[in-house]
Structure 1
Amino acid sequence: MRKLLLSVSAVALLGPASALAQGAPAPIDETANADDGEIVVTAERRNVSLQRTSVAATVLTGEDLVRKSVNSVEGLQFASPSLTVNTTGQGNAFNIRGIGKTEQNSAIGVGVITYRDGVATLPGYFQSEPYYDIASVEVLRGPQGTFAGGNATGGAVFITEQNPVFDRVGGYFLAQYGNYDHIKLQGALNIPDSDTLAIRFAGNMERRDTFYDVSGPWTGNPGNRRDYSGRVSIAWEPTPELRILLKGDYNNIEYGGLPASRATEAGDPLKVANDAHLSGRDEFGRIVLNAQYKLASGLTLRSISGFQRGTTQISYDADGTATIVPALSFRDRISEEIWSQEFNIISPDTGPFTWILGGYYQHDKIIIPEKGGYYSDATPNTPTALDIEIVGTNPKTALAAFGQVGYELADGLQITVGGRWSRTTSANDAEARAYFTGIPGPILTLAQVDRTVNRKVNGKVAINWTVDPDNFLYAFVATGTKAGGLNGPNILGRTPLAFDPEDVTDFELGWKSTWFDGHLRTQLGGYYNIYKNFQISIVDPFAPSISSIFNVPGKTKLYGAEFSAQGSFDAFSFDVAASVSNSKLGTFFAADPRLGGAATACDPESGPAGGRCVDLSGNEQAYAPKLTLSAGAQYAIPLGSDATLTPRVDFAHIAANWGSLFQNRLFGDRLEARNILNAQLTLTTGDWTVAAYGTNLTNQHYVAAINGARRLAGAPRQYGLRVSRSF
């Protein structure tokens, strides 16, 4: 049985859910940097220079991730502008420019999709996969409707793992120990069998005690991490024209259910009182087959096939306190599997005319098993009050055809036009069951067998002007869509069954420059977004424990500017990124069940305002800080022979923002600013590296996310020693 708080968990995935993003394949020979040090991106199916493409992006190499202490998806927000990541263990609210996902509810699709080696990962959930043996991470800002497809209205993240190489036996080993008894062992081994076949093994093991001080009659495993991940990659190139890459990943991530206090509480968010079973685990895997063949004409044929399956289990205190009677807890267990296939035909890069054609299909199925989605058979299953259980399946499909053409109008002046047609479906084959203490069997059963279909066309038109070898200007308009879907069974029957897709139109201008003979690169851009039919989870005012998805009827406007720079001057290097943004919600009324008084009607377009019905028109978008800033610098001090000592400092600021559209400080909706200071001191000699590291050195205790009635804390100060050797 699950407690009635359905709005904050994957169990509400009897809506459209999110796996309707279409994967972006990565070439087998992809690297984050070209041989001349030029940063490249692969968002448009080709290796192109970041400084010569009309996309706002941050690219981090594997080395950058280590230097900036970015170990997982949550750390990306401290290294990329306009980005917030608010993790609740089971899922995360990943937003770029205020567009993405604001509710921990799988009935709402993600707006920022993550890809691993060209395959869209399990969406919204299963995002705690660690970063290890990584070649590059690309964070693309703005809608990626042509190539990334659905669920990329805010942007996309492309992660490329290291590929096998044919020329040497090699790899690395890493051992780390820090406070909270934090132990990490990581490594990779590359073994070439011949000039045409190579295999690479990589793995990561991590253990850490909890950050939280938990009181109350809780049971279980409150916030301890126990992670085990492994990967096998096989590369085969029987001829210069044919390249095949097969990868398999496995992850078993235990995160302890994440203790949390009530959102209305003040004080240290790391000190909580809970009276529930606290536990959580994600187990998931992925297989990717990437094959490409280059014809004599120069055309490249590429295929990306993917299969993923995962099971997520969670148990936590739903009210964030040990004082409310009867206790409210939440338990959930679901499985999801995705099959995907993409084909590309890519023209040569030579000549004034280039083009690409592609097709995509994906089938995503979410399974909510019997037994009410319990975390395990060992947890109690007797309802303590009114419980809601949902069982069944939620299958979804995505079918798409896309293409882009580029033509050089004059020397240095190019136009590109891209488009994507997509058809998505979402279905429910499920039932909701209501139980009450002392009554055997369900007191009410509500079946739902429904299906919805959406068809959309998205695209991008860009003008690119290479002014000279050091300056590039661009302007474009791009669109993106997040699929609509179905609300789950509502026992009171007051909820709209279907909700519409949401759409974003993005207008951008940008200038990218190179200075001082390539030692300094800068990117400056501005954007204006019109966001329609924003999907938001709203609590039923007559049944405050049940949430359903509504569309914001007015147009939300988001606009801002972004700047970044990367400099490398011999021993000294630095990077800086900043964004300023504004947002304004369109006309929208919604009921806030936290307000007292009787439940009254509340029409999304007309209200009327009063009592629980609140006029949200003009409010800021949730998780849309007005300012983000990150900066880092390091200096390599030579010590003689082949030894260097490199101190590095990184600072990130994310301004205060709202975790809810209601924007009521009394209920904890305000997330205060985050100021994160990291530092490392690295000694390198030959193949050995020893680093002393510290993250969040000021030990800021901050609320990282709002999840229903709960608030969850960010990571406190961590420090330790890391030793690694490459070979």
Structure 2
Amino acid sequence: MTSASSRRPAIGLVTPVQLAVLALMAGTVQAQQASETPASQTVAQAAPQQDTAPQSGTATTTADGKQALPQVLVTATKRATSLQKTPVSVTAINAQTLEDNHVKSMLDVFNLVPSMQGTGQGDHGIVSITLRGIGNDSAKTEYADPEVALFVDGVFAPRPEGAATMLFDLDGIEVLRGPQGTLWGRNSTVGTINMKTAKPVLRDTSGYVEGGVGNYARMGIKGAVNIPLGDTVAARVAFAHEQHDGYVSYQRPPNISLASQQAAYAAYVAGGGTAVGFQPINTSLFVQGGDKYNAQNQTAARLSFLVKPSDKLRWDVSLEQFADRGTPSMSLMQTPREGEKFWSALIDTAPSLKRDSTSIRSRLEYDLGGMALAYVAGYTHFKGSGTYDQDFGVNVPTSFTTGGPQQADNTVWSKYTSHSHEVTLQSNERQTIDWVLGLYYAAEDNGIRFDIPIMNGTQQGTVNWQGSFIQPKETVDSTAAFGQATWNLTEAFHVTGGLRYTHDDRKNKGGRGWFWAGNAAAPQIPLNPSVDPTIPANGYTAGNINDAHYTGNKTTWLARAAYDLNKTTMVYGSVSTGYKSGGTGDGGLPYGPETLTNYEVGYKATLWDGRMTFNASAYHMKFKDFQFSAPVIVNGNRQFAYSNAEGAKVSGLELETAVLITPDDKLQFSASYTKTKLGQLVASSNDYALPACFDATLGGNCVNVTGNELPHAPKVALQLMYEHNIPLSNGDAVAPRISFHYQSANWLSVFNLGDGDRQKAYSTADIAVRYSSKRNWYADLYVRNVSDEKIKTSAGSAGSYANPIWVAQYAAPRTFGLNAGYNF
């Protein structure tokens, strides 16, 4: 039976202190207790896909009848290997763990991986990812690339919208930490995430269906069915829908006396403002109903096929459709306006998201006898639009054209098409030299119109500034050749070397920034989709000419040695390099590539006859020309700019352990320590109220951030998960479980500007209890963020540097719900 929601053992509730004690006790176990290799550690050297339904559960039984942790296979080295025998820092999250933690999107994954952080971004509605202290909060436009590469079934997802899609019907997620450029390709500067979808199974009819409800009017349904189509073909249909109301309530419109409004308007005109005739504030311009910010309404479906005419040939192909009709995440005032609730905002731009994507993924494998040939291909087409209240309602208008201002960030249209192709030839039997060779090609075609109307006071007022960024065609072509080989010098000693050559070609064709020209004859109305800024009579001029062409190449490499201390314990050390392409920004201004060298040592052990795993790694990353990007103001106009910092340094420790305390009790513990330091950089950003530049020749507002800590990099982060099985006399089971997370304080930007720009240390817990029936149905009651912590994930400020008004994006408040399902 195949199911992402199969019955599982239960969990006992204990205090975080008790969990910590258990973790410490587990850590004292000596390696000599694991002198034998459990049968579950035997792994094939090639990378075949499963043809039988996977099994799940807290424990497995080895050949000698002992209970042990289930074997975990990963594909970090482009072949299926045991996690405990793979000399790479990898976190493998199986389907059961995803279910237990109610993972619906990448935002739910971050607490499960050491050194991993992330946040939802408002105006573009994307998810940004930080790993080992390195990320790119501005990787939300057609220009910027992420630092962490995201793959689905080995197919690269180039744009950040890919991280916001639903995670459903997965076999698991692998997070590879550190540069993975040799085997995994572009933009894997500090890590790679590979999501593995559930594959069809031959000669098997099975499936599951689950529905759920919760607070904020949450409703969800998901399911899958495996359909045999003869002895050599199978299909799998999977679907998911999740929706809930927004967390952010609408504040009442401002109640300002008419006399006060008239006085403010008169002062504005007397000070040289445009006289357009007084109007009272139209309170209907402030949103009071409809969809709220931070709402979810997403639907996805996937149709997969497996064709396996012989033991030598296998073809997996899938078609996936995703639709998003939710709303973006609103930045909230960190200190709420007097008399208003924390989860509320004064909104004058109604939220909207409309996104649709279609993806096709294919993997064709052929066993040549001693070698395996594989061809992996993918295609994605995306289109979307959205509206966002970028002024966050932090400043109340004093009249229809004073105070405020009113600012919207509107994606009028956005589209991209990408396709990629990878051919690999590798040894598939254990040899003196295990090797893999590959060729890779990927292409993107991006386009967007992004409008920023800013009006004095309200939407009735006069124009403060307006701009339309129209990029009709931005292309990326990336080609690469790579190879990696492992010399098995003895049964215990293994040396690996790898090389990858990458060539990138990026073009902006016809990109323009159309800015308000201050033409008194032009209509003083907010920029909207019906306004064509290319027509001079509408009052705009081409301020940025973005046509540009960038080419670059880089050779990245890996050197690694691994030594098996015994059959269940190994150590390894590696030196590897990473690379992220340079490019061009607004105005066609170029920026250089980013490179790094990563030094790493690791230890992996399987203890207690397979009932415990203990993995640890230490690393030091040294960056050169670290890329920093942000929206800035140049000559009064807004644009997106890049800088290359002199460098950055990141060092850290990571720990992961799992313990099968009894056949019914499992403890998982992970921890990370991260230390970061930014190199020479003078930075600016429209997202913060910054001081005037210390150097008058630079102009504008800026801060020397040299030596600052990097954002989203808490020094200490801990995650504890405990589960316990309580069998009932009738064969059913009750399964309580708890997940506890702690992290120390961390900055939210490179500016390190004080409490408003910092998330203080916090801890939070999720709890759940599941009732599983022997008749294959179950019910799961859960509470997430039990203590309702207000967790800042990004920040910004408005007003002046001396007296800023701080806003922030926040993780979800406390949520609770009930899921029920049936496996068949």
User: Relative to structure 2, which stretch is displaced further, 588-597 or 249-258?
Assistant: 588-597
Whole-angstrom distance in 1 between the partners of 2:440 and 2:460? 42
Whole-angstrom distance in 2 between the partners of 1:642 and 1:476? 49
Equivalence for 1:511? 603
1:715 aligns with 2:812: yes
Equivalence for 1:418? 498
Whole-angstrom distance in 1 between the partners of 2:691 and 2:304? 60
Whole-angstrom distance in 1 between the partners of 2:119 and 2:47? 27
Equivalence for 2:322? 251
- Structure 1 pair 600–326 and aligned structure 2 pair: CA distance change class (3 A): same
Deviations 1:443-469 (A, max 9, x none): 321433210011001121100101101
Match of 1:590 among 683, 690, 694: 683
**TM superposition shift of 1:680:** 1.0
Whole-angstrom distance in 2 between the partners of 1:382 and 1:249? 45
Whole-angstrom distance in 2 between the partners of 1:114 and 1:49? 22
Deviations 1:212-271 (A, max 9, x none): 122241376323221111000010101111101110111111221323235686897522
Deviations 1:665-717 (A, max 9, x none): 26x32123342211111111121111111111111122232368652221111
Equivalence for 2:287? 218
Equivalence for 1:184? 220
Equivalence for 1:21? none
**TM superposition shift of 1:434:** 1.4
Whole-angstrom distance in 1 between the partners of 2:336 and 2:685? 18
**TM superposition shift of 1:93:** 2.0
1:151 aligns with 2:187: yes
Equivalence for 2:707? 618
Deviations 1:402-421 (A, max 9, x none): 11011112231000001110
Match of 2:424 among 341, 344, 348: 344
Whole-angstrom distance in 2 between the partners of 1:600 and 1:52? 53
Equivalence for 1:306? 378
Whole-angstrom distance in 2 between the partners of 1:565 and 1:519? 11
TM-score (norm 2): 0.79
User: Relative to structure 2, which stretch is displaced further, 588-597 or 73-82?
Assistant: 588-597
| Contact persistence 1:355–1:405 (CA under 8 A) | yes
1:482 aligns with 2:515: no
**TM superposition shift of 1:600:** 6.7
Whole-angstrom distance in 2 between the partners of 1:383 and 1:154? 46
1:390 aligns with 2:447: no
Whole-angstrom distance in 2 between the partners of 1:449 and 1:244? 42
Whole-angstrom distance in 2 between the partners of 1:133 and 1:669? 37
3-state DSSP class of the match of 2:129?
A: strand
Equivalence for 1:334? 414
Match of 1:559 among 647, 651, 656: 651
Whole-angstrom distance in 1 between the partners of 2:110 and 2:636? 32
Whole-angstrom distance in 2 between the partners of 1:419 and 1:268? 55
Gaps in structure 1 of 5+ consecutive residues: 1-24, 375-379, 490-495
- Structure 1 pair 218–26 and aligned structure 2 pair: CA distance change class (3 A): farther
1:682 aligns with 2:770: yes
Match of 2:234 among 194, 198, 204: 198
**TM superposition shift of 1:105:** 3.6
Equivalence for 2:446? 366
Match of 2:304 among 233, 237, 242: 233
Whole-angstrom distance in 2 between the partners of 1:396 and 1:383? 40
Q: Structure 2 matches for 1:444-459, cutoff 5 A?
A: 444-445=541-542, 446-459=544-557
Deviations 1:141-170 (A, max 9, x none): 111111121211121111001000112210
Equivalence for 1:580? 673
- Structure 1 pair 373–341 and aligned structure 2 pair: CA distance change class (3 A): farther
| Contact persistence 1:537–1:547 (CA under 8 A) | no
Whole-angstrom distance in 2 between the partners of 1:142 and 1:56? 7
**TM superposition shift of 1:72:** 1.3
Equivalence for 2:362? 289
| Contact persistence 1:174–1:723 (CA under 8 A) | yes
1:283 maps to a residue whose letter is: D
Gaps in structure 2 of 5+ consecutive residues: 1-45, 63-69, 254-285, 397-402, 454-458, 523-536, 799-806
Bigger share in helix = 2
1:570 aligns with 2:591: no
Equivalence for 1:471? 569
- Structure 1 pair 265–420 and aligned structure 2 pair: CA distance change class (3 A): farther
- Structure 1 pair 131–387 and aligned structure 2 pair: CA distance change class (3 A): same
Deviations 1:608-628 (A, max 9, x none): xx9944221111011111111
Whole-angstrom distance in 2 between the partners of 1:167 and 1:450? 54
- Structure 1 pair 599–561 and aligned structure 2 pair: CA distance change class (3 A): closer
- Structure 1 pair 388–708 and aligned structure 2 pair: CA distance change class (3 A): farther
Deviations 1:320-354 (A, max 9, x none): 11625341111012111101111000112322211
Equivalence for 1:492? none
Equivalence for 2:404? 325
- Structure 1 pair 715–517 and aligned structure 2 pair: CA distance change class (3 A): same
1:169 aligns with 2:205: yes
Whole-angstrom distance in 1 between the partners of 2:224 and 2:460? 43
- Structure 1 pair 192–592 and aligned structure 2 pair: CA distance change class (3 A): closer
1:661 aligns with 2:750: yes
3-state DSSP class of the match of 2:816?
A: strand
1:97 aligns with 2:127: no
**TM superposition shift of 1:383:** 8.6
| Contact persistence 2:47–2:428 (CA under 8 A) | no
Equivalence for 1:433? 514
3-state DSSP class of the match of 1:147?
A: helix
When Rg is computed on C-alpha atoms for both structures, the one with the higher figure is 2
Equivalence for 1:692? 781
Deviations 1:533-582 (A, max 9, x none): 11112454645762443334322110010111011230001101000110
| Contact persistence 1:635–1:647 (CA under 8 A) | yes
Match of 1:74 among 107, 111, 124: 107
**TM superposition shift of 1:384:** 4.2
Equivalence for 1:3? none
Q: CA RMSD in A?
A: 2.6
- Structure 1 pair 197–155 and aligned structure 2 pair: CA distance change class (3 A): same
User: Relative to structure 2, which stretch is displaced further, 592-601 or 393-402?
Assistant: 592-601
1:199 maps to a residue whose letter is: A
- Structure 1 pair 414–158 and aligned structure 2 pair: CA distance change class (3 A): same
**TM superposition shift of 1:66:** 0.9
- Structure 1 pair 592–133 and aligned structure 2 pair: CA distance change class (3 A): closer
Deviations 1:28-76 (A, max 9, x none): 4399989973211112210011111111111111111111222210111
- Structure 1 pair 32–294 and aligned structure 2 pair: CA distance change class (3 A): same
User: Relative to structure 2, which stretch is displaced further, 694-703 or 589-598?
Assistant: 589-598
- Structure 1 pair 474–33 and aligned structure 2 pair: CA distance change class (3 A): farther
Deviations 1:375-412 (A, max 9, x none): xxxxx999943211122211111100011011112231
Whole-angstrom distance in 2 between the partners of 1:268 and 1:153? 41
Match of 1:354 among 423, 434, 443: 434
- Structure 1 pair 422–104 and aligned structure 2 pair: CA distance change class (3 A): closer
Deviations 1:282-308 (A, max 9, x none): 21121011101101x321110011100
1:287 maps to a residue whose letter is: I
3-state DSSP class of the match of 2:764?
A: strand
User: Relative to structure 2, which stretch is displaced further, 501-510 or 113-122?
Assistant: 113-122
